[in-house]
Amino acid sequence: MENLHSELFFIAFAAALAPLLTQIPTQFRMPLLVAEILLGMLIGPHMLNLASTGGLVALLGELGLTFLLFMVGLEIDLDQMHGKPLTLSISGWLMSFVIAIVFMNIFHGIGLIQAPPVLAAVAVSTTALGIVAPILRQAGTLNTDFGKLLLSAAAMGEFGPLMVITFLLIPTHSTVWHTLLMLAFVGITFLVADMAVRVRTSEWMDLIAQAMKQGGQFPVRICIAAQALLVALAYEFGINVVIGAFAAGLIVNLTTRNEGGAILRYKLDAIGYGFLIPFFFILAGMRFDISALWADPLVPVQIIALLGLLLLVRGAPLLLYKNLLKPSDRLPFALYSATGLPLIVIISEIGVSSGLLPADRAAVLVSAGMISVLLFPILAHKFIEDAKQAVQTTASDVDD
């Protein structure tokens, strides 16, 4: 027990230190989850060995994973995804996934990347909505046409892979039985969602909104209970629990589009990103075997190949957007879309725990995801700023 207390202290200290690391140096700010993974690597059993990855720490990491997917569902703005953005995002992700499967089978066949091709294809076809959205918000482009199209594509870049993961990982049931259980779970989710939409327009939501204004925690407890319910149902149905958490986030998303919703989301954000979610990313770093990166001479080549594939796979849908995006926005769109660490970590963790992916191959995938998060948004921002500067220069020349 004494050792557990010290382990929790080191993890909590890493979680508190991570936001500070993202501020220095100011010209190269790493994303928060990258800092959390790096600090997890430092305190984990493969480096300083200050904390282990089992027991209560593992349980908190599992809770962090489910809350992360809950927050992903909560962040998706369904109102902005209808119509053409939704059609393009679905078509674009399907194009990405097909291209990823083709290349992953080729890489697997020549021995370049030894990982299950479909699982690896899912990983490289993801987009980090939780990273892209704050960047666009900070840049003031969240509500522009560019931002809306990108957010829709990013949302599908998280939703699509989650659906594939669910059908790939079949714990105990036959394929037919698993499919029936999945359909039953989807039916229950739609039923709960319909109830949520009906409640949103009833007097109950007025009471909940009033409770939020008065500092009450009842709505927060309802949200956590809804998440626990759908996670438990997903587990009982033999479906991966992250789908239950994601579905719960979508339902709360539908329910909280009212006056008290902003306060509720703020409180859920504090619970998730302030407490539980850092445990997942720090634990992922603790499990990261850094020695795997130089155990094989092919590893640097594999990481470079994966980075190139990330950009190719998520950049290919630009063919569908060419009439909607300015030429100067196309490369930034591809770079933002190829930013995909959170789900890559989740998929790698699921792959390792289910025995589908060796730990050393998971380390290569996560390394490529970390570099994509560090590099691609910076390049995208630079290209956007260069385009703005070019426009301003041209305008000045015309005025002169």
pLDDT tens-digit readout, 217-254: 778 888 898 899 888 888 887 777 777 888 888 888 87
Q: How far, CA to CA in Å, does 236 sit from each of 45, 240, 298, 309?
A: 33, 10, 41, 36
Per-residue confidence at 167, pLDDT binned at 50, 70, 90? Answer: low
Residue 123 has pLDDT above 80, yes or no: yes
Apex 370 CA angle, 366 and 374, nearest 5: 170
Of 196 and 325, more confident: 325
Check residue 170 and give its pLDDT: 46
- Taking only the tens place, the pLDDT of each residue in 188-227 is 777 777 776 666 655 555 666 666 566 667 788 888 988 9
Q: Show me where the domains of the chain are located.
A: 2-166+272-387
Tokens 């997903």, residue? Answer: 234
User: Structure pTM?
Assistant: 0.76
Q: Using omega within 30 degrees of 0 as the cis cutoff, is the peptide bond preceding 327 cis?
A: no
Q: What is the second-level CATH architecture of the domain 2-166+272-387? A: Up-down Bundle (1.20)
Of 145 and 75, more confident: 145
- Taking only the tens place, the pLDDT of each residue in 104-120 is 999 888 888 878 888 88
Per-residue confidence at 91, pLDDT binned at 50, 70, 90? Answer: very high
Could you give the CA distance from residue 7 to residue 56 in angstroms, rounded to a whole number? Answer: 10
Could you give the CA distance from residue 368 to residue 310 in angstroms, rounded to a whole number? Answer: 9
